[in-house]
Amino acid sequence: MDLQKSPLAPASFPPMADISGVRFATVAAGIKYKGRTDLMLAEFVPGTTVAGVFTNSKTASAPVLKCREYLPGGQARALVVNSGNSNAFTGRRGEESVDHILKAVADAVGCAESEVFSASTGVIGEPLPHNLIVDAMPGLQGALGGTTWQQAAEAIMTTDTYPKGVSRTTKIGDTEVHINGFVKGSGMIAPDMATMLGYIFTDAAIGADVLQALLAPASDASFNCITVDSDTSTSDTVMMFATAQAGNAAPQGVNDPALNDFKRALDEVTLDLAHQVVRDGEGATKFVAITVTGAENDLAAKRIGLSIANSPLVKTAIAGEDANWGRIVMAVGKAGEAADRDKMGILIGGVQVTQDGMRVEGYDEAPVVKHMQGQEIEIEVEVGIANGRATVWTCDLTHGYISINGDYRS
């Protein structure tokens, strides 16, 4: 599939900090794609801790199930990710494929299988040719350290049109630490945990329990607030690895004041990556921020926001640059959350469209239409119940989405 780079893509892959204690290697294993890398191996120094959040799908893939099983151990020595085949809905055969892959990685790196985490992304229901991954492992292990962050991000892409990465430098106490992350995701995006596949790395010393307590809320406020098409993947995974090479004193719990700057930086990393996924939504031409206020609580506000963001009628109106605010009213009403029709107000691009349950007096659609013609769309909705507030992010729905997904398996 020859995909044009998203018009919402950043100008380039960002500069990435050096994270001591992690090395990458990639290869074109031929799992599905021809002439491009599709297999990535990351190796971590002994003592690296790990945290993760995974899909809530009831048809989760075999790699997700194995990651869940090994995560409580809190230690990681390797990560292996393939693209082109999700190894989902492949039954016992899929579980056996994971076992073969983990053994090959553990042998290559020299660690326990329980310290190896794997992920697969791509077509559902096709048996994974794990022999291609197993056979590639000796060469990958020998090539560790010769792969850039961008190359690692590129190897896990499927319908993505650009690699997605971000880097931050911050402090824990008085010690400088770094956070890098990359993510893949473009379609089948309505996370119920995290996003498609996302990996975050830090050289900080952070215990596994604290790392988990940091990652879960950061993911909830970012990856769990985006949607491209309302579909939650079988393979959604976000993992974070801490190599402890920066030399900081390990925080004494998630509420340790020494973590304040680190928390802010981690929130920036996850939100940046989540936004990049939306900006690469399949066929997307517009990035849409939807803020809901006045809801019964924050969760209700989020549900109303996602009802708007997932509405095909709203998304196609945005694609057509049609200021059809009636579709927003519809989406609020179907969300199943409390809303006062006669107090509801809508702003588009900062322009008041409705107030107190009706169109404002003297409403001029021209500035709203002009806003809709841009690439960055802002919608605000007040529902008049209480103080609940949330922001979610989505993209428009164009014919490009149909073209990509109608041709996905060819």
- Residue pLDDT, tens place only, 391-402: 999 999 998 888
Per-residue confidence band for 308, with pLDDT thresholds at 50, 70 and 90: very high
* pLDDT tens sequence across 38-62: 999 999 999 999 999 998 888 899 9
Q: Please pick, among 37, 195, 234, 270, the residue that the annotation labels catalytic.
A: 195
Q: CB count, 10 Å around CB of 334?
A: 12
Residue 286 annotated as lining a ligand binding site:
no
Which residue in this structure is represented by tokens 């990535």?
A: 40
Residue 195 annotated as lining a ligand binding site:
yes
What is this structure's pTM? 0.93
Residue 164 annotated as lining a ligand binding site:
no
Q: DSSP string covering 315-371, please? A: HHHHHTT---THHHHHHHHTT-S---GGG-EEEETTEEEEETTEEPTT---HHHHHH
pLDDT at residue 408 greater than cutoff 90: no
Residue 59: its pLDDT value, please? 87
* pLDDT tens sequence across 253-268: 999 999 999 999 999 9
Helix (H) or strand (E) holding 137: helix 130-143
Residue 248 annotated as lining a ligand binding site:
no
Residue 282 annotated as lining a ligand binding site:
yes
195 has catalytic annotation: yes
Contact 188, 277 (CB under 8 A): no
Per-residue confidence band for 195, with pLDDT thresholds at 50, 70 and 90: very low
Say which residue, 188 or 403, is predicted with more confidence. Answer: 403
Q: DSSP string covering 19-63, please? A: -TTEEEEEE---SS-SSS--EEEEEE-TT-EEEEEE---TT--HH
- In a 13 Å sphere around the CA of 73, the CA atoms on its Cβ side amount to 16
Indicate the CATH number of 287-406 among 3.10.105.10, 3.10.20.340, 1.20.1280.50, 3.30.70.20: 3.10.20.340
Per-residue confidence band for 87, with pLDDT thresholds at 50, 70 and 90: very high
What is the residue extent of each domain of the chain? 22-279, 287-406
* pLDDT tens sequence across 204-230: 999 999 999 999 999 999 998 998 866
Residue 193: its pLDDT value, please? 39
Residue 410: its pLDDT value, please? 47
Residue 85 annotated as lining a ligand binding site:
no
Contact 129, 39 (CB under 8 A): no
Does 287-406 match 22-279 at the fold level?
Answer: no
Per-residue confidence band for 289, with pLDDT thresholds at 50, 70 and 90: very high
* pLDDT tens sequence across 134-179: 999 999 999 999 999 999 999 999 889 999 999 999 999 999 999 9
Q: Using DSSP, how many helices (H) and how many strands (E) does the chain show?
A: 11, 15
Pairing of strands 78-85, 116-123: parallel
Q: Which CATH class is domain 22-279?
A: alpha beta
